[in-house]
Amino acid sequence: MIYTLAPQSLKSTLISLDSRQIYDAPNTAFFAVRGIHHDGHQYIENLYKSGIKEFIVEKVAWTGILSEKAKKWDDAEFYVVENSIQTLQNLAALHRSKFDYKLVAITGSNGKTICKEWLATLLNGTYHLVKSPKSFNSQIGVPLSVWAMKSNHNLGIFEAGISQPDEMEKLEAILKPSHGILTHFGEAHGANFSQEEHKLQEKLKLFKNSKTLIYRSSHWDKIIHTYIKSINPEIVLIEWSTEDPTKNIFVHFIRSAHETQIKLKKASQSEPFIDIKTELTDDASLENICHCLIMAHVLGMDNLALNLTIRRVKPISMRLEIKEGLRDITIIDDSYNNDIDGLRLALPLLMKYETKKKILILSDFLEIGLPEENLYDEINAMILNQKIDLIIGIGSQISRNKNKITGIEVYQSTEDFLKSGRLNSLYNAAILLKGARKYNFEKLVYALENKSHCTQLEINLDALQHNLSYYKNKIGLETKLMIMIKAFAYGAGAVEIGQILQQQGVDYLTVAYTDEGVELRKNGIYTPIMVMNPQIEEFTKLIEYSLEPEIYSFELLKALDEYCLLNEQNIKIHIKLDTGMKRLGFESHEIETLANYLAEMPQLWVVSIMSHLVASENLEHDLFTKNQIAEFKRMSTILTHKLSYKPLLHIANSAAIENYPEAKFDMVRLGISLYGITENKKEIKQIENVLTLKTFISQIKQVDKNETVGYGRKGKVNKKSTIATLAIGYADGYPRSLGMGNGQIEINGELCPTIGAICMDMTMVDISHLKHVATGDMALAFGGKIQLSKIANEAKTIPYEIMTNISSRVKRVYIKN
């Protein structure tokens, strides 16, 4: 059945916009969405065959073969609409209108997700609540979150984020929040707003029908008060401050090294109405928990109740982390909460580890609000067809429902599971951990983790995907994208980065050597791979693993041709032209001969013709670069003319994408810019940092005036100083040249200069100016306030060298919101 009007309701209870994340097809409605580099309409036929019978499709795509086929699918319903996302938002708003319970909406620049999670932690048990999964706060994330609202809930907690004007009004129409929190307001997501005041006003539109808004006093007070009262005169504003006792609520922090006492006092009262202790100590966490405490109080919790529930609030990572483990185990640590939507979102990450056993470890699902029998039936339906090799359940609730989950092993507690020794029997596996906080799954992570060294390189997969999308949009749909993942993906981990890039649909991956390509193939990566430096003795491997060599000399070309003739093989190749690099490649005077050779070698299929720009990042060499581009055009035209087909042409690297758009040709090669590193001032505002090198303070010492620090007594102290020793040295890849004050390390948001020489395994920094610092505190070598390009300049090298020198003993941790 085909309808030309948007639906007012759905028969299905589940919604999906991603064809890769369908768990209960007969009960799922699919919204086909078109983007610059994807089109959900392409997957409708396969989704119909998989069992989906309810589709929302867009009129502009509903033409030709698809619409004709749909007429024959009598058991399916198709709603043909102008805009699938707008239809989703309208349906979510209608769904929201069915429930009259309170709803807290949270927006701001930073802290939305942590506030949502901590507020839910404080209120669990008092309310049956529903909340946004993960960081679902976008134009799509909010309606998907709201769809989870049910009649058995009595409170909603949702976050909302915007990146451009006019978005918040759409989210407000869906959420209709009764209560609001405005978290820290800063520079994040400001690119599309004329000024910061404009962005703030757009965020405040979320509360135009709310009864209450909580926010921290700042220099934005007047703008907040004036604007919100102009759109919602009846709203009650609760403004809190740590500096001004005349505000609605005055907050006093009493800090020690490992805990903070928080006292909240109303302006009209002499005694605090909340007086609690928490193990949170950093400024950002204390600001976030104050928002939550005040909102919890507004929602009916008193000091006694909050003193009990605050114990559950821990300094937690709000991001999924992927880590290397012992016994060839990959740990997918998503254990900061356990809810149905969170599990649904995490399962695809487990599934992408095609060459490893797939293991799921679950705890009880607490405070979900569903009857147990329904809850575990739903969980079983979600995971039944996922080809999971082993499911382990931990907790009394999941244990008594073990018959509802096919093939599950159960244990009463995390301690029982650890004592059983079962964890030590697991190997060559990807393990997804989803556990409620009370089950302390961090103990499982610790038992599984490779703990040889605590310094780690954090790779932010969300930032990497953001950068990838930026460059895809930049080059346009007609231009293919090749990603360089040679040298262990510049130190970030070739297999892990390769899997993400494959999932995102890049056209080509490139490695330097054949063995790098073989490793990718053995780990389930089937995207085309170009090898830049193939060796003659590796031709068999190239063919066996479907790797495509770059051919840069007649010697290599003839040897490969002879090999293919002798072994009756065909192979795809890439021809490298030297237009000015003077490194590898066929030169101008060789091009006619090369063209004649290729025309007589049908077993060698030229997939692409390529060259390498020498100085595209430096506009001082603009003429040279343009001459290279012109020469590439000339040489490639001669080759193409001799062939009976047209290979892809590519010369543009990361810098050329921005500086020389005319050099796009058929494909561009993206390298270091994927990680948020560029010299282009315009571009740096649009892309995000991907890499953060983290270590920690091993020890703190008081050093008297005229004493020295480190080898050779090179670190001279001119006054009594506090010195921290960090667990990172030149053996980890931190440049030795950054010693003697030439480099800085970020600790607790402050920059601390190095002192003395950098040691093999340790670095000393002066922390005399810091307050509230302790052994074990995190320190950032780069990322945060210190850009990788900055330390490269200080070390008199380039970012590539810093990245590729990070030692293999430094753990790679992959994080994802």
Q: Which residues are catalytic?
A: 486, 711
For 155-196, what is the HEC assignment?
EEEEECCCCCCCHHHHHHHHHCCCEEEECCCCCCCCCCCCCH
Length of the chain: 817
Could you tell me how far CA 737 lies from the centroid of its own chain?
A: 32
Alpha-carbon gap, residue 175 to 170, rounded angstroms: 9
Cβ neighbors of 230 (< 8 A, separation 6 or more) are none
Instruction: Identify the three-state secondary structure at position 211.
Output: coil
Q: What b/e sequence results for 500-518 when a residue is b if at least 16 CB atoms lie within 10 Å of its CB, and e otherwise?
A: bbbebebbbbbbbbbebbb
456-460 and 744-747 beta bridge pairing: unpaired
Half-sphere exposure of 184 (CA within 13 A, CB side): 16
Q: Which alpha helices (DSSP H) does 546-621 contain, by range?
A: 554-567, 591-599
Residue 692 bridge partners (DSSP): 458
Instruction: Identify the three-state secondary structure at position 721.
Output: strand
Q: How far is CA 35 from CA 4, 82, 472, in A?
A: 22, 14, 11
Q: Which alpha helices (DSSP H) does 572-621 contain, by range?
A: 591-599
Question: Crossing angle of helices 554-567/591-599, nearest 10°?
Answer: 10
Could you count the other beta carbons within 10 Å of the beta carbon of residue 223? 16
Question: Crossing angle of helices 622-642/591-599, nearest 10°?
Answer: 30
Residue 239 bridge partners (DSSP): 215
Cβ neighbors of 102 (< 8 A, separation 6 or more) are 154, 155, 156, 178, 179, 299
The pair of three-digit structure tokens given for residue 785, joined into one six-digit string: 């306030």
* Helix and strand counts by DSSP (H, E) for the chain: 27, 38
Alpha-carbon gap, residue 384 to 796, rounded angstroms: 55
